[in-house]
Amino acid sequence: MTRSSTRTTSFDVAALAGVSQSAVSRAFTPGSSIAEETRQKVLEAARRLNYVPNSIASSLTTKRSNIVALILGNLANPFYVHVMHAFSRKLQEHGRQVLIFTVDAGAESDDAILQVLKYQVDGVILTSAQLSTRMTSMCHDRGIPIVLFNRYIPGSDASGVRCDNTAGGRLLAEAFLAAGAKSYLIVTGDPTATTSGDRVRGFMDRLIEGGIKRTDITQIEGYSSYEGAFSATIRYFSAPDVKRPEAIFGVNDIMAMGVMDALQLRLGIRVPKDLMLAGFDDIPEGRRAPYHLTTVRQPIDQMVNETLAILHLDEPTRPIERGIDRRIAGRLIWRSTIPVPQGNG
Amino acid sequence: MTRSSTRTTSFDVAALAGVSQSAVSRAFTPGSSIAEETRQKVLEAARRLNYVPNSIASSLTTKRSNIVALILGNLANPFYVHVMHAFSRKLQEHGRQVLIFTVDAGAESDDAILQVLKYQVDGVILTSAQLSTRMTSMCHDRGIPIVLFNRYIPGSDASGVRCDNTAGGRLLAEAFLAAGAKSYLIVTGDPTATTSGDRVRGFMDRLIEGGIKRTDITQIEGYSSYEGAFSATIRYFSAPDVKRPEAIFGVNDIMAMGVMDALQLRLGIRVPKDLMLAGFDDIPEGRRAPYHLTTVRQPIDQMVNETLAILHLDEPTRPIERGIDRRIAGRLIWRSTIPVPQGNG
DNA sequence: GTATTTTGTGAATGCGTATGCATTGTTCGC
DNA sequence: GCGAACAATGCATACGCATTCACAAAATAC
């Protein structure tokens, strides 16, 4: 059996069922005008022939592929695995397919988008990747909505959904301040991503409002990964004249986990006894026993829903929503890596 | 701008470039007969019109979609995230698209396969999911190769690539025997998957050959997840009349990690001082400082390559390879969770 | 210089389905 | 019981591209 075997088409099914090809088409199209009896006849014939409608051919006429493209950077951060899973589940529930594209963290997504455009996807979701204005307009010109997930490009025509990273950073700063931390180390993520920058900014602004001196806040680069944060931490604390901070903010949970392991297992520094720590994201991995991270929860499901709402795949004739910047509040999750301040339950 | 905007087609490009539509098609088809000068003219016109070839329309005539379906169960196990990433990278390098489908662990994959067939994919890769013979023949009948990744269905027409799980289980049993463990606990995974069963079988067979009594080997269910293994471990050790084993085999790394944390952080049992432990997979997470798991490495890249070789997407006319069962040896990675036996470096 | 091969090009056709339109059959209201 | 409204169905065509075929142009051979 070679791969060029002739496939059964709606005409074959029509012949067996004794109806026209259009009747077959209608039998598989919900809401179209067909008698239930005829429909059953067609479905029975289709079953006997192992017929499956050809979505490729169908989308040629409908101009709808029912495919949504999901472009992912940084899969090394489990947060985006959970995001992918959430999108996948949700879209599958609605009978849509997910075309996955992985790009290196921080890389241009132009190639990915061009590939994806070839497939006439109904929408594009972009996480942790750059987006040029040329690609934005290419998508919009051909009527394909594109939504940035947890990314923000100022002045861009592309809409986006993100956690309120700045406010989240402030929440964590407040927690640290309440616990009495006076000096800080921030382990930052990918410098090309606004996510990290916004969190750091909110965090620092609040610290300074709280009376912390700028010279008591240091930043090091953690490369958005466990391993990057792990070794950055060891490097920092191994410097000869280092001033040990009282608190560390890992700009995402996976980095905070790397920091914590470096501190406790390599440097002999206990969390939170000797040093407080917080992350951001609230990934399930950070809830586990060894970490029990204090963090800010990004409400993935809500963010996914908002993203799909902006795509509004069900209403293809509605104009594309441009330049929307939906910010969703994160919630402080108080666990073990910041001691509960005295006087607060 | 609504989504029904009229898209630019190869005819538009042809008109602007002053050539025929077929010339445009040829300009975008590598290896086709066209003068370089004409090609440049066409590409320039295409660029100016933001034209992108419509792969959907093209696959209607070529009967090749350049899409490969990847059906994933159990994304909670990071191993399969790495597998997905490896497939994604490899397929993208070859200019192919990845259609992702996630199914609940242990669930039927029939629906997923039917969906995927609608899109005339060039191949199907199935990880951790059941596969009915009906779906196998539906794929094969329409010339779509399907390969099971790390699954094995005895007597099935579908080909598969897997790690030699039985041999891997034996390797770990040998390591434990060499380290002198006399009593064992096995934390098993999804009972519907052969992966877990094979590993357990090889492990037990070798233990018994090594003189361990059956009564000194206990099995509990860890549900293939960190959380499942974590709580199963606590439950087991909290029973009133429990006999503490000297060694535990977590049938995959993520479960071994759960076991380890439960032991050390909840039960006060030190690894490997009080109790030895091993996993299976060699996921990067298990290499991290808190775990440093002794395990068997599944050679993901090699397995991915073998899988793609069986699909042989580049030679669509070659007959589908049926019933292949490619087993690839795993390698013992000796880290810290089994003490090195005396006399061995 | 003509005969032969190679290369480049355009017109026509097919891929599998959805859908507007026309037609037939059916039901309902009065 | 008659016309109108409506449901069900078939026919024909459009969708955007790749491919085949035929032919023109160019390159090579003699």
Cβ-Cβ contacts under 8 Å, A95 against chain B: 115
CB contact under 8 A, A141 and B290: no
CB contact under 8 A, A120 and B56: yes
State the Cα–Cα distance between residues B121 and B316, nearest whole angstrom: 12
Task: Pick the residue of B54, B56, B144 with the most A CBs within 10 A to test the interface with A by mutation.
Answer: B56
The helix or strand, by DSSP H or E, that contains position A295, with its residue range, turns out to be strand A295-297
Whether residues A100 and B88 touch (CB distance < 8 A) is answered with yes
Task: Determine the pLDDT at residue A6.
Answer: 66
Cβ separation A100–B117 shorter than 8 A: no
Mean pLDDT of A154-179: 95
User: From CA A275, how far away is CA A256, in angstroms rounded?
Assistant: 13
Please check whether residue B48 touches A, CB under 8 A: no
Closest among A80, A75, A16, A7 to A45, alpha carbons compared: A16
By Cβ distance, the residue of B85, B99, B119 closest to A75 is: B85
Distance (Å, rounded) from C-alpha B75 to C-alpha B80?
6
Domain segments of chain A as ranges: 10-53, 65-163+300-328, 165-298
Residue B250 β-bridge partners: B187
Residue B319 has pLDDT above 70, yes or no: yes
DSSP assignment of A216-268 equals GEEEEE-TTSHHHHHHHHHHHHHSTTPPPPSEEEESSHHHHHHHHHIIIIIS-
Which residues does nucleic strand C approach, with CB less than 7 A?
A: A 6-7, 9-11, 21-22, 25-26, 28-29, 32, 53-54, 57-58, 60-62; B 19-23, 26, 33-35, 37-38, 60-61
Which nucleotide, over all strands, has the C1' atom closest to the CA of B42?
C9
**In this complex, is the C-beta atom of B273 within 8 Å of any C-beta atom belonging to chain A?**
no
Identify the band that residue B218 occupies on the pLDDT scale cut at 50, 70 and 90: very high
Q: What is the DSSP secondary-structure string of A35-99?
A: -HHHHHHHHHHHHHHT----HHHHHHHHS---EEEEEE--TTSHHHHHHHHHHHHHHHHTT-EEE
Identical topology for domains A65-163+300-328 and A165-298: yes
From chain A, the residues in CB contact with B70 under 8 A are 100
Would the Cβ of A26 be found within 7 angstroms of any atom in strand D?
yes
Flag whether pLDDT at B233 surpasses 90.
yes
Give me the CA B66–C1' D19 separation in Å, rounded: 18
The answer to whether A142 contacts B89, with C-beta atoms less than 8 Å apart, is no
**Rounded mean pLDDT of A67-89?**
95
The string of DSSP codes covering B35-57 is -HHHHHHHHHHHHHTT----HHH
Q: Identity (one letter) of the amino acid at A335?
A: R
The number of angstroms, rounded, from the C-alpha of B238 to the middle of its chain's C-alpha atoms is 35
Distance between the alpha carbon (CA) of A26 and the C1' atom of D4, Å = 26
pLDDT in tens, A245-287: 999 999 999 999 999 999 999 999 999 999 999 999 999 999 9
**Cα-Cα-Cα-Cα dihedral sign, residues A272, A274, A277, A283:** negative
pLDDT of residue A48: 92
Q: Which of A3, A141, A142 sits opposite B316 (nearest CB)?
A: A3
Listed as ranges, the nucleotides of chain D within 7 A of a protein C-beta are 7-12, 14-20
Which nucleotides of strand C are protein-proximal, with an atom < 7 A from a CB? 7-12, 14-20
User: Would an 8 Å CB–CB cutoff place B86 in contact with chain A?
Assistant: no
pLDDT of residue A124: 96
CATH number of A65-163+300-328: 3.40.50.2300
Interchain proximity B144–A115, CB inside 8 Å: no
Give the tens place of pLDDT for each residue, B9-31: 898 888 888 888 888 888 888 77
Mean pLDDT on B221-234 = 96
Considering the domain delimited by B165-298, tell me its CATH architecture.
Answer: 3-Layer(aba) Sandwich (3.40)
| Cis-peptide, bond into residue A272, ω within 30° of zero | yes
d(CA A253, CA A264): 16
Give the minimum alpha-carbon distance from A65 to chain B in angstroms, rounded to a whole number: 9
Q: Residues B57-88: pLDDT tens digits?
A: 999 888 889 999 999 988 999 999 999 999 99
| CA-angle at B215, arms to B211 and B219, nearest 5° | 110
Q: What is the pLDDT of residue A1?
A: 38
CB contact under 8 A, B288 and A85: no
Q: Is B9 on the interface with A (CB under 8 A)?
A: no
- Minimal Cα distance from B285: which residue of A? A226
Closest CA to B211 of B247, B173, B161, B154: B173
3-state DSSP helix/strand/coil percent for chain B, to nearest 5? 40, 15, 40
Q: Is A1 exposed, middle or buried (0-12, 13-18, 19+ CB in 10 A)?
A: exposed
Q: How far apart are CA A196 and CA A228, in angstroms?
A: 15
Q: How confident is the model at residue B6 (pLDDT cuts 50, 70, 90)?
A: low
How far is the C-alpha of A296 from the C-alpha of A282, rounded, in Å?
6
Looking at 3.90.650.10, 3.30.565.10, 3.90.480.20, 3.40.50.2300, the CATH number of the domain B64-163+300-327 comes to: 3.40.50.2300
Size of interface A-B (CB pairs under 8 A): 164
3-state helix, strand, coil in chain A (%, to 5): 45, 15, 40
Phi first, then psi, for residue A108 (nearest 5°) are: -65, 145
What distance in Å separates the CA atoms of residue B45 and residue B13, rounded to the nearest whole number?
A: 6
Taking CB atoms and an 8 Å cutoff, what residues of chain A touch B287?
none
- Using 50, 70 and 90 to split pLDDT, how confident is the model at B337? very high
pLDDT, residue A226, reads 97
So what's the pLDDT on residue B167?
A: 98
The answer to whether A117 touches A145, Cβ cutoff 8 Å, is no
R_g (Cα) of chain B, nearest Å: 26
A 140-179 → B contacts, CB under 8 A: 140-145
Residue A100 to residue B99, Cβ atoms within 8 A: yes
Measured CA to CA in angstroms, residue B121 lies from A85, A112, B151, B254 at distances of 21, 19, 21, 32
